[in-house]
Structure formats: C-alpha cells, structure tokens
Structure 1
Amino acid sequence: MLVRTPVPTRIRRLQLSLIVAVSIVSYAVLVVPVGLNPTTEVVAVGDVASTTIQSPRDIEYVSEVRTEEARVAAESAIQPIYSSPDPAIARQQIERLRTTLQNITAIRLDTEIVNEVKRSRLLALSDVRLKIETAEYLLSISDSRWDSVQTESVRVLEQTMRRAIYEDTVETTQAGISSSVSFAFSEQQVALVTELVSAFILPNSFYSQDLTDIAKANAREAVKPIVQTYKAGETIVSTGEIITPADMEALEQLGLIRSNRQWEDFAASASIVILSAVFVPMYFFRRRRLVVLNDAKNILVIALLFILFLVIARLFIGRTLAPYGYPIQAAALLLTALFGIEIGLVFAIPLCILAAFGLSNSFDLTFYYLFSSLIGLLALGPARRFWVFIRAGIAISLSGAVALLAFRIPLITLDWIGILQYAGAVAFAGFASASIALLLQYMLAQLLGLTTALQLLDIS
C-alpha cells in the first residue's frame, strides 16, 4: 500500500472540499442545539419544561438569584419605621387645650350675656367643634364638675399624646379616648371629655425614610450568600413546571443552556474546528505515500463516518450516563480495520475532542473518549482475527473505566448504584464499539472494494 504515487488534481480538490465541508458541518454541530437534551428548548424564564431536566454532575455554587430573593424577602419583612413621639407637639396641644378650657370657663362665668349667646359662642370656638347638646350640657353642669372635667381632659390628652400617633391612626386614637377616662365620671361627662380631647389629637410620630432605608440595608447585609448544591442525577425542574430564575441560573451554571450565546462561544467553536481542520491535512501532508486517501470513495466514507459519529455524539448533550455509553470508539476501530491504524488514530483525535467540546463535563469526557478510542485501536492492531475485536472491546471498557476513575469519579458523589450504572455504560460502550466496527467493516469493505486483513485470513 505504500507507494510513491502522484495525487490527481481532482482528488486534491475533493480532499480540500471535504475538509471544508466537514469543518462547516462540525462547526454547525457545535453551535446549533441539535441534542436530545430538553434544556436546549428552554431559553427564557417563564417557559414550560417539556421534559424533566437533571443535573449531569455534582455542582456547588453561590446562587445570586436565591441570595437576592432572600435579601428582597428580608427587606420586605422590615416594617415602616417612625420617629419617636415628639414631646413638643404634645406640649403644644396641651397648651391649646388649656386655652380652650379657659375660654369655655370665661363664657360660662360671663353674667352679662344670656345662655343663648353663651351657647352660640361655645359653638363658635375655633379649636374645638362642639355639638349643640354638648354646649348645652357645658352650660348646665356645676362648677365643681366642670373643674373635674377640665382636669381629666388635660390628663387624658397628656396620657394619649405620650403614645405614638401616626397620620393614619389619628381616628383610631380618637375612638379609644373614652376608655382612658376615669370610671368616676358619668356617661355625659365621659362624652364631654372625649369630645374636648379628640379635637386636639394630632400625629406626633412620622414615617422616617432614612431610618427605614437603614433597617432594610442592615437586613440585606445580614443575609449570607446562599450556596446551592445539586447531585448528579438530581432533578432541577420537572416536566410541566415553569422555569424560574433560580432554575435558569442552575442550568447556566451546569452549562446545560445559555440564555444568550456570546461571541466568545462562537469564536471558541470556530477555533477548535480550525485546529482540527489544520491538524489532519498537515499530518497527512508528511505522509504522502498513504494511497488510501487518494481514493474518492475512501475519503468520502471517512468524511461521512466522521460527521455521523460526531452528530450522534452531540445528541446526548446534558445526559448523565448516555455520553459514556455512546460507542464513539467504534469510529476509531472501524477506520483502523478498513484503512489501517494510522488513519484510525489521526481521525480519532479530533473526533473525540469535538464530540466533547463545550459541554459541562467536557473535561472528563474528552479524556474518556480519547484514551478509550486510542487504546482500543491499539488493542485491535491489524484486525486479523475475530477475537481481536473482542480484545479491543475489553480494552475500551477497561481504559474507559480507568479514565473515569481518574477524571470523572473524583468530581462527583456516587453510591454503589451510581458506580454500577457508570460501569454498565462503559462496558456497553466497549462491546458495542467492537460489534459495530466488526459489522460495518464487512459492509463498507464490499462497498469500497477493499479486502481487509480479516477477510484475507478467511480466504487463506
């Protein structure tokens, strides 16, 4: 297979076209939400979750949303703060009451005017609006009782004005004056005291915006940052629930969704695709003797397999176990069985990197895909025996398990059930990869007109 053969111009054009086409498709796969993960459908607060969304990994973060909600609740719990009762207002009103009482006494003692005139003057007092029956009672009671009423009125007003009276509680305070009057007074005297005192009730405590703001600020500062935790597999939002700001924050923290794609995301995807597109042709530029890449069918199949395995890998975005059970290693085994270990190795590297790029678990998933694929194809070797595919599958499972122990398990908390689930996913990936590679190599070899090492062994 290693001969010095000039590459036809049409093949070079096809190679270049396929590099460009595969790069464009790869970029689209990275930036367009093609996954089966339901979080790609949730783009805004208030949307309804179409399926249950679970955390793909353990995570602990300071929740700005929940912290702000707690701070707002702490602020809302603060009642309006009023200033202390102003004693100057109380003294002023008591003085006004005494002046009014003196005026009433003067009217009562004036012998030069008749009762009709006295009543008119009582009703005309500016500081207190007396009822007609009250004015008549004032003129009829004895001096001793009037003296008692005056003393009691001043006492009740002073007692009442010592308490905080707000602008919206004046009427309530006036309604409760009668209960402060001594039981020694008759009902008529109680009514008289109440009417006199009520006229001089004024607000003596006022809303303080500054004090209220200080209290709210102190309440906000007292709220400590809220740390939100999710375990791998824990439900973030269930089917049919409305996405709340806290849910959206969790999805963004886990990398399951971003409400607004930034230019950095697109630039990062473009950069990794460009690196992959440069790596492959630069490598094979130094290996011009690989005649398999000079065949149109071969490079078309390689391109299609690369895109197929990449697209399917991105369908499992956000899933907890599915990415680890996906047999992406079959691509490396298949390319190795069809075209040799060098082809399998060179194309497996960018495929594994792109398949895990930009995901919330890309760190461990990249190493898992890469190590298991490379060790699997090395275990496969020339693929001359049926059992070497089984060996490759076992190698994939074992190397994948070791990669998870090194890069995945330390980052999450698992019980024995979780460990068994991961072990099952890794075992499935290994044997599924071997089975897929074994089956497809027969089918594609016939399509491409190739004779694989395994077929040569069968013929012999």
Structure 2
Amino acid sequence: MRTRKRYLDAVDRLRTRMRRTSVSTRRRVVAAVLLVLVTVILSIEISPFGYLVVAGKPARRAIYAPRTVQYIDEKKTGEERDAAAAAVEDVYRVDPAVANKVSDNIRGLFDVIENAAAQPLPPEQKLEAVQIPYPVTTDTVEALLAMDPEQRVAVENSALELAAGVMLENVTGENLSDNIGKLMAITGTGQQAAQVAAAFLEVNAVRDSADTERRREAAREAVKPVITTKLQGEVIINKGETVTAEQLDLLRRLGFQRPVFTPLNVLYTLVFSILLLGAVAMFLAKYRRVVYQSPGLLSLLGSQVVVYALAARLITVAASNWSPVWGYLMPAAAVAIITAVLFDTGVALVIVAVCSLVTGVVTSGNFTLVAVALLGGFFPSLIVSRTSTRHQLRRASLYTAFWVAAVAFGASALTQLNADLLINAGVGFINGAVCGVVAMGALPFLETTFRVTTNTWLLELASPEQELLKDLSARAPGTYSHSVMVANLAEAAAREVGSDTLMARVAAYYHDVGKMKRPQFFVENQQEGVNAHEGLSPNLSALIITSHVRDGVEMLQAEHIPPDLVEIVREHHGTSMVRYFYEKAMDQDTHEDVEESRFRYHFPKPHRRTAGILMLADSVEATARTLDKPSAATIEQMVSRIIDGKMADGQLDDCELTYSDLTRIKAAFSRILIGAYHPRVDYPQTTAAGGERSDTRKAGGSAAGQSA
C-alpha cells in the first residue's frame, strides 16, 4: 500500500507540473510524441540475427517463410524473356538498287561477249577481252563465245531470271555463299546461265538494328512474369547451406534483408502515421469530445497503440526467426478489452481497426494476421464494457480465447493450404486467454495512473473496509448513516434516468467525508441537547457548514480517489444557500445588511447527471429526517418542493438532467422515502411467564427498529 501511495503521489506531482501548461499545448505534445513513436516503430526494421546472411557463406540457421507469399522470380523471368528475344530473327531491309546493279552487270557481260564474238580475233584474245572486267570462269566464257547469238540471248535471259529470283530474297553476308552454291549446283542446259548469275550475286539486305531490337523488346514484354509461391513455413535456406545471390535477393524481396532505416521509408511511414492518427483524432473530435479534449485520456489511448505496435513488431521478428505460429499472438484482444473498459465499445472498435492496420504494416501485408488482429479484437470490444466486473472480465477472456482460436483456424484455412490448422488454433486460444489476463492485470495500473474511473475501481471504493468510509462511520456515524440513505436514493434515481448507478452510489458514500473534520457541527452527529453552533455567529456557522465540501475534496484527492468522483463531490452543493443560518442572521437585530453570498456554497454547479442527482438526493434525505409525521402525501410534496426549489434557485441550469428526468427522479425518491419512513404498526407488548417480554417479541421489536 505504501509503495502504491508513493507511486500515486509521484504521478500527482507530475500531473501538477503538466497542468502549468495549457490544455491545447499538452494535447499537441501528446500528438507529436505519439506520431514520432509510431513512425519510428513502424519504419525501423528489426532484423533478426537469423537473417544476417551473406552471399557465399553458410547460413547459421534454417530460414523459413513467415507467411504464404507470392513473388516474381526475377531470375526465371529474365531467362524466359531472354529466350523469347533470342528467338526473334534479325530484321533486314532489302536495297532494290543492288538487284538492278546485278542485272546491269549480267547484261554488260553479254554485251562484251557479243562484241568479242563478232570480232575477227583469235579465241585467246577474245577470252582475254571478256575475263578482264568480269568475274566469270574461263570455261563459262569459252562456252558463251562458242554459242550462236540466239543461244547467248537465251542464256542471258535465263541468267537474268535466276539472279532476279535470288535477289528477291534477303541476300546477306551470312547466306550469300549458300545462294551461290545453290546456283552452282545447277547442271544441264541451265548450267551456264546459273554460273553467270552466281558470279554476279551481291548482298542486298542490310540489318535493321532498330527494328530488330524493337521486336525483341516486344517479345520480352510479351512474356508474363514467373510467379513463385512460398508457403508459410516452407524452407527458404537450410541451416549450413551456402547462401547464393539468388537466395539473398529472395530474402530482400520477402522483406527480411531490408535496410534498418532509410529516409524514404521513414517519409512514407510518417505520412501513413499522420493519416492513421488523424483519422482517430477526427473520430474523437466528433463523437468522443471529452476524450479528444483530455491530454491524459489521449495519452492513455495513444500509449495502447504504441505498445501494440512495438509488441507486433517483436512478434513478427519471433515469427520470422523461429516459427510462423508466433504471429498468432498479436495482442489485439488485450487492447480491445482495456479500451472497452476504460472508454467504451465505439472507441475500442476504432482502436482495434488501427491495430489491424499496424499489423498489416509490420507483417508486410500478411492477411491472416491482419484478420486475427481485426476479428480477434472485434469480439471482446462488443462483450466488454465500462460496467464489467472482474468476474465478467474473466468470463469474457474465456470467450475471447475460443473466439480467437476460431479466427486463427478460419484465417489459416483460407490462406495456407499446408498450414497446421490445429496448432494455429491452439496458439490463438492461448492468445485470447493471455490477452484477458494481461488486460485484467494492466487495468488497475492504468486506472490509477491515468485516473480513469471504472466499475472495478468503484466497486473497490464501495467496500465498507475502505479507510475513508471506516473513519467516517467511526467519527461521524450520523453522517455515515445519512450517506448510505442518500446512496439508496441516488442509485434508484440514476437507474430511472439511465445514468451510472454505481457511480451515483459510490459518490453518495463519499459526498460528505469532509464532515469528519468537524463532525460535531452537523446536526446528524450532534447528541441530544448539544449544539456546537451555540455562541457562534451565523456567518461563522455558515462558513463551517460550507467548508465541508472543500475539506472533503482535499481528503479525496489525498487518497487518490478518481477525479470523476471528486468532481461530483465538488459540485453536489453548487451555489446553494445555507438557509437556516441565513434566516437566523436576518432575524438578528444587528442593524447590518446581510450579504447573501456569505451564506452560499461557492462551488461549481452540477454538470453531470450524477452530480445533479446527488444534490437532489442529499437535500431530500436531509429534509425527510425533519418530518414529524411522514405520510405518502407529505413525502411526495416535500420531494417536489425540494426539487422545484433547486430548479428555481438555478442549481440545475448547467446540468444534463431534463424535465422528464426530474419527473422520474421525484417518483423514485418518493418511492424509496415512503418505504423508509412509512408509519409503523404499534405492536402490543405481551409478556411471557414470569412477567418478562418474550424473546420473540424482542426480536420483532428489534427488527422493526432496524427496518425503520
């Protein structure tokens, strides 16, 4: 207890220092810190030691795929694209001038032969005249010279036809000799024509490099990327296996060897974090204004996102380094339970969605784990609330364990054909159970650190064993009895108007603890015939009476009672008047003006419905004790008079209570008070043998007294 009190004192001192700055400044600081932390956690890759591999060296441990993933095999894709490009033949452009040149050369040869044949020269000189300018063999020239003119014309035409036929095709440096060989292989009557045509063939096709590359690039692009699938748990590199450059590239593509910190990655993550936290801020600003305006509540909410992001990052490392099944331990259910208890279901659902997106980032888009986080947190957000007790939380944890197990089983079945579904479901069950335990363990710490009022804390404060209540019952028993009765009234009224019944009861228990400082000055604690106000001026008496609120607030703050409850106690008298001493001052003939403000409480008027209910219950119960002969009619009239008087005095001007609420509150107060102060039957006192009252009658009388 001492350690806890020292811790809470330290927290209060820190909160006091922080209050020296404006609320808007504190909110900006909280937002900036959260943005930095989330960005850093999401952008920095924690590289597990098992993945510190180097190409050409053996792996220190087996490396498994942490999730089922499909990726483009760049090596195979490149090989297939290169093969497709290589299959595309070179593109050539035919030069038609070359064919004309070949034809002209053939005609020129026959013109020379015709002229030489017509000359009266010896055969040797004729042969020499033909061979000098043209690349033809001696046998071919001799044969042509020996022909008559008609035969030579026929051979010429045949040679032109053969050459033209060849030159219609692409004649390249690579196939020129093949084309010549085909012509030279011709025998018979066409042999001389073929030999002439072969002698004059030339390359007529030039390689079109641009068109060739264009077609080959088109062939490359037509090849679809080769998709390779790595199933969750499949070995990427065996232990001791020499790591190849291709395997190292695969690790990089799977995200295992990404740089730990890159400016561009940080920039992208910063933009994502701004959008993520900005969306939450917009939701809170529109639908949860109280949370949005409270730096403390924003810190509480943001700290859960930060802790979850860090836990998700570490779990991802464990899943990558040891076994993918670790991924099913994402603690979204714990965040959901804590947020639903400390805030409400709507806020819990929003934070679960945020945690799911964070899961997607740290796991590089693992659908299975995102589904486990989203659905695993969705369920407890709906079955847990601010009114949940410890027993209800334990039961919710069990239900959550089964739910997360089912989610893990279903998500695994959808995405991983070779996954061990039962193991995944078992780990999911453990996850749900552990999340419940962690949430219940963290709630007391978060409640006290961030001063968030929960039902668990209120139930603890409602125990009669609380030091303040024990002191109140011992030092001011009348006030304690009054507080218990006020608690009954406040709880009944809160139930009627749909307000927080437990908060109303606990606030009533503590609303008058300040009277312990001077209990004898309050009528419920005074002994018969003794009035501590005798001899005091009305002003001083009023000051003593009104100071019990300030004293009570100080006592509650010293005991680290939740701020919500302290605020209700601070407001429960508002600016009401201490009418008895005001009228007493007016009756005294002092010839001085009586300042009404000196006889009023100087505290905020009730804002919350619970504070308004407590004000009315306090006044009604105190007045009910003064009724001489209470009846149903007088009690109802008294209740209406008190509540109408508070309204006329403006005490409920700032309160959330409606006229309809006040009507229901009147009925609830009347019902409780009529039951408590109804007329009793006057039982006759019979005696047993020996003249003494029987034990049965004693018990009956005692019971009647207790019921009164």
TM-score (norm. length: structure 2): 0.42
| Structure 1 position 203, deviation (Å) | 4.0
Q: Name 1:121's counterpart in structure 2.
A: 129
| Pair 1:431 & 2:433 matched | yes
Q: Name 1:314's counterpart in structure 2.
A: 313
Q: Name 1:353's counterpart in structure 2.
A: 354
**Contact residue 70 and residue 229 of structure 2 kept, 8 A:** yes
Contiguous gaps of at least 5 residues in structure 1:
none
Q: Distance in 1 between matches of 2:144 and 2:98?
A: 31
Change (3 A) 1:173 1:19: closer
Q: Name 2:378's counterpart in structure 1.
A: 371
Q: Name 1:270's counterpart in structure 2.
A: 274
Q: Distance in 1 between matches of 2:219 and 2:417?
A: 40
| Pair 1:199 & 2:199 matched | yes
**Percent of aligned pairs sharing the same letter:** 14
Change (3 A) 1:368 1:242: farther
Q: Name 2:572's counterpart in structure 1.
A: none
Q: Residues 2-46 of structure 1, C-alpha deviation per residue, up to 9 Å, x if partnerless? A: xxx9995315469766665344212322333347599999xxxx9
Q: Residues 270-292 of structure 1, C-alpha deviation per residue, up to 9 Å, x if partnerless? A: 2323455784995457899xxxx
Change (3 A) 1:380 1:277: same
Q: Distance in 2 between matches of 1:220 and 1:332?
A: 51
**Contact residue 129 and residue 199 of structure 1 kept, 8 A:** yes
Bigger relative contact order (CA 8 A; separation at least 6): 1
Q: Name 1:31's counterpart in structure 2.
A: 43
Question: Larger Rg: 1 or 2?
Answer: 2
Q: Residues 345-393 of structure 1, C-alpha deviation per residue, up to 9 Å, x if partnerless? A: 76896376246335323863552243255357559943369xx64x344
| Structure 1 position 429, deviation (Å) | 0.6
| Structure 1 position 313, deviation (Å) | 0.9
Q: Residues 52-74 of structure 1, C-alpha deviation per residue, up to 9 Å, x if partnerless? A: 6748468799x999999978865
| Structure 1 position 311, deviation (Å) | 0.5
Q: Distance in 2 between matches of 1:130 and 1:227?
A: 58
**Contact residue 85 and residue 205 of structure 1 kept, 8 A:** yes
**Paired amino acid for 2:421:** I
Q: Name 2:89's counterpart in structure 1.
A: 79
Q: Distance in 1 between matches of 2:235 and 2:116?
A: 81
Q: Name 1:166's counterpart in structure 2.
A: 171
Contiguous gaps of at least 5 residues in structure 2:
1-11, 451-455, 467-708
**Paired amino acid for 2:333:** Q
Q: Tell me, what secondary structure is at the counterpart of 1:104?
A: helix
**Paired amino acid for 1:367:** L
**Contact residue 371 and residue 399 of structure 1 kept, 8 A:** no
Bigger CA drift: 312-321 or 137-146? 137-146
Change (3 A) 1:284 1:71: same
| Structure 1 position 396, deviation (Å) | 1.8
Q: Tell me, what secondary structure is at the counterpart of 1:313?
A: helix
Q: Tell me, what secondary structure is at the counterpart of 1:78?
A: coil
Change (3 A) 1:393 1:196: same
Which residue, out of 400, 403, 410, partners 2:404? Answer: 400
Q: Tell me, what secondary structure is at the counterpart of 2:200?
A: coil
Q: Distance in 2 between matches of 1:54 and 1:250?
A: 12
Q: Tell me, what secondary structure is at the counterpart of 2:185?
A: helix
Q: Tell me, what secondary structure is at the counterpart of 2:390?
A: coil
| Structure 1 position 123, deviation (Å) | 3.8
Q: Distance in 2 between matches of 1:66 and 1:439?
A: 53
Q: Name 2:333's counterpart in structure 1.
A: 329
Q: Distance in 2 between matches of 1:378 and 1:248?
A: 44
| Structure 1 position 159, deviation (Å) | 3.0
Change (3 A) 1:342 1:286: farther
Q: Distance in 1 between matches of 2:333 and 2:245?
A: 39
Change (3 A) 1:307 1:97: closer
**Contact residue 272 and residue 354 of structure 1 kept, 8 A:** no
Q: Distance in 1 between matches of 2:68 and 2:387?
A: 32
Q: Tell me, what secondary structure is at the counterpart of 1:180?
A: coil
Q: Distance in 1 between matches of 2:162 and 2:18?
A: 105
Alignment RMSD (CA, Å): 6.5
Q: Distance in 2 between matches of 1:34 and 1:237?
A: 19
| Pair 1:101 & 2:110 matched | yes
Aligned pairs for 1:34-183 within 5 A: 34=46, 54=65, 56=67, 77-81=87-91, 93-94=102-103, 96-111=105-120, 113-114=121-122, 117-125=125-133, 128-130=134-136, 134=138, 138=141, 143=146, 155=158, 158-163=161-166, 164-168=169-173, 169-182=175-188
Q: Distance in 2 between matches of 1:142 and 1:18?
A: 110
* Equivalences, count: 412
Q: Residues 207-228 of structure 1, C-alpha deviation per residue, up to 9 Å, x if partnerless? A: 678987997799689x597795
Q: Name 2:422's counterpart in structure 1.
A: 420
| Structure 1 position 439, deviation (Å) | 7.1
Change (3 A) 1:368 1:393: same
| Structure 1 position 149, deviation (Å) | 8.5
Q: Tell me, what secondary structure is at the counterpart of 1:315?
A: helix
Which residue, out of 9, 18, 22, partners 2:16? Answer: 9
Q: Name 1:233's counterpart in structure 2.
A: 232
Aligned pairs for 1:204-223 within 5 A: 223=222
Q: Tell me, what secondary structure is at the counterpart of 1:162?
A: helix
TM-score (norm. length: structure 1): 0.59
Q: Name 2:533's counterpart in structure 1.
A: none
**Paired amino acid for 1:166:** V
Q: Tell me, what secondary structure is at the counterpart of 1:166?
A: coil
Change (3 A) 1:148 1:350: same
Q: Tell me, what secondary structure is at the counterpart of 1:398?
A: helix
Q: Tell me, what secondary structure is at the counterpart of 1:167?
A: coil
Change (3 A) 1:219 1:267: closer
